[in-house]
């Protein structure tokens, strides 16, 4: 599916005040949000505190106004989040008046369900999957709304808007339901759940332009700031908070950086940037020569890294 990214174009003769804006991607995403609320009994919006999930929250607000968002938000907390993201999350939830569920990867580690990775590339990114699947079971969620986009990565380019997962959270990429026109089939069996991706058809630039146009607040780490960092494999890592493993010969230097994604600190590299306002970020992205996930070490593990994680139940 489904671009219903179709057909909307503002007539030039009528002022913008008589009709809503013509952002086809936004109208499509709102349509999807409403299908989720209508077709499922216990939906949840997976909220990471990143720009994509913040965009989802705004779209959900728009879809149901003047009613509140009719589902809770859930954050799978790796314990390695940027502190700025957590502060931001709590403030947003309070403003919205919606329920926030937090489940911690640390608990899964303490319960012996997963084992913490060690070494130079240790990350809790993979461990999130177990915590997420447990939470889905605990709350009997039948639909999980996520901010994944098809332009992020090759395997995601084949993801459906309604993507069915089995009892084990697994993605069967060879047996996906066709999505025709904008009809979304949310029929599932007990124990299955659907991952829903309302901004599937957005690109990174679309998301940033939307944040700019809507004047949406986002965590400060997306903007250029001074940070103690070190270099590894040509990427810039945060040397603050002690989360990222740093060898003794990896020298700490202060750089002006910002983050393009705010995943787990242990797998999210920074980029050198002076973009300290949303306008500057948008023009930087427009001119950018490195794709967004280029700064995510978890995808570089192998050519098929993302596809393997998805089969195991990753977001």
Partner 1 sequence: MEVLKIATAGSVDDGKSTLIGRLLYDTKSLTDDKLEAIERTSKQKGYDYLDFSLATDGLVAEREQGITIDVAHIYFSTASKSYIIADTPGHVEYTRNMVTGASTSQAAIILIDARKGVIEQTNRHFFINNLLRIKDVIVAINKMDLVDFSEDAFNDIKADFEELMDKRDYQDQKITFIPVSALKGDNVVNRSQSMDWYKGQTLLEHLEELDLQDIYNVGTPRFPVQYVIRPKTEEFHDFRGFAGKVYGGELSVGDEVVVLPSMTRSKIKAIYFYDTEYQTAPRRSSVTITLEDEVNVSRGDMLVKVGDLPIVDKQLTATISWMDSNQLTVGGKYVLQHGVNKALAKVDAIDHKIHPDYSGIEENVSSLNMNDIAKVRLRLNKPIFYDKFKEHRTNGSFIIIDSRTNHTAGVGFIE
Residues that bind partner 1 (CB under 8 A): 1-10, 14, 17-28, 30-31, 34-35, 37-38, 61-68, 150-151, 154-155, 157-158, 173-174, 176-183, 185, 187-189, 200-201, 203, 205-206, 288-291, 294, 303-304, 307
As a three-state string, the secondary structure of 250-302 is: CCCEEEEEEECCCCCHHHECEEECCCCCHHHHHHHHHHCCCCHHHHEHHHHCC
What tokens does 107 get? 């608990």
Q: Residue 209 CB, nearest distance to partner 1 (Å)? A: 8
Tell the residue number behind the tokens 């759940």, with chain if given.
Answer: 193
Kindly state the helix (H) or strand (E) to which residue 161 belongs, with its residue range: none
Q: Residue 20 CB, nearest distance to partner 1 (Å)? A: 3
Phi/psi zone of residue 241: left (φ > 0), alpha (ψ -120 to 50 degrees), beta?
left
Between the alpha carbon of residue 30 and those of residues 2, 137, 164, 269, the distances in Å are: 13, 27, 20, 32
Separation between Cα atoms, residue 270 and residue 227, nearest integer Å: 10
Nearer to partner 1, 1 or 135 (CB): 1
Nearer to partner 1, 226 or 289 (CB): 289
Name 225's bridge partners.
257
What tokens does 170 get? 């697994």
Nearer to partner 1, 127 or 270 (CB): 270
Nearer to partner 1, 180 or 252 (CB): 180
Q: Residue 107 CB, nearest distance to partner 1 (Å)? A: 33
Q: Residue 294 CB, nearest distance to partner 1 (Å)? A: 4
Name 44's bridge partners.
144
Q: Residue 39 CB, nearest distance to partner 1 (Å)? A: 9
Q: Residue 90 CB, nearest distance to partner 1 (Å)? A: 23
Nearer to partner 1, 20 or 83 (CB): 20
Nearer to partner 1, 252 or 304 (CB): 304
């Amino acid at each position: 599916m489904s671009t219903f990214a179709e057909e909307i174009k503002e007539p030039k003769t009528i002022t913008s005040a008589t009709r809503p804006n013509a952002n086809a991607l936004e109208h499509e995403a709102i349509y999807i949000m409403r299908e989720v609320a209508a077709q499922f009994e216990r939906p949840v919006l997976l909220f990471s505190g990143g720009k994509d999930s913040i965009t989802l929250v705004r779209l959900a607000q728009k879809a149901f106004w003047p009613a509140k968002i009719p589902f809770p938000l859930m954050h799978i907390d790796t314990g390695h989040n940027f502190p700025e993201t957590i502060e931001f999350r709590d403030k947003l939830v309070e403003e919205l008046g919606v329920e926030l569920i937090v489940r911690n990867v640390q608990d899964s580690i303490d319960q012996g369900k997963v084992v913490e990775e060690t070494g130079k590339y240790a990350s809790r990114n993979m461990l999130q999957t177990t915590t997420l699947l447990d939470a889905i079971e605990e709350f009997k969620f039948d639909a999980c709304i996520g901010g994944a986009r098809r332009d992020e990565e090759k395997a995601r380019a084949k993801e459906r808007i309604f993507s069915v997962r089995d009892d084990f959270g697994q993605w069967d990429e060879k047996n996906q339901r066709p999505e025709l026109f904008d009809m979304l089939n949310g029929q599932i069996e007990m124990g299955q759940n659907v991952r829903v991706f309302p901004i599937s058809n957005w690109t990174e630039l679309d998301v940033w332009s939307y944040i700019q146009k809507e004047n949406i607040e986002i965590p400060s780490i997306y903007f250029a700031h001074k940070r103690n960092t070190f270099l590894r494999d040509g990427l810039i890592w945060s040397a603050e908070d002690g989360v990222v493993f740093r060898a003794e010969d990896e020298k700490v230097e202060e750089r002006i950086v910002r983050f393009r994604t705010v995943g787990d600190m242990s797998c999210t590299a920074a980029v050198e940037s002076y973009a300290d306002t949303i306008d500057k970020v948008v023009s930087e992205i427009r001119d950018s020569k490195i794709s967004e996930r280029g700064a995510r070490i978890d995808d570089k593990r192998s050519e098929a890294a993302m596809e393997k994680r998805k089969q195991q139940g990753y977001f």
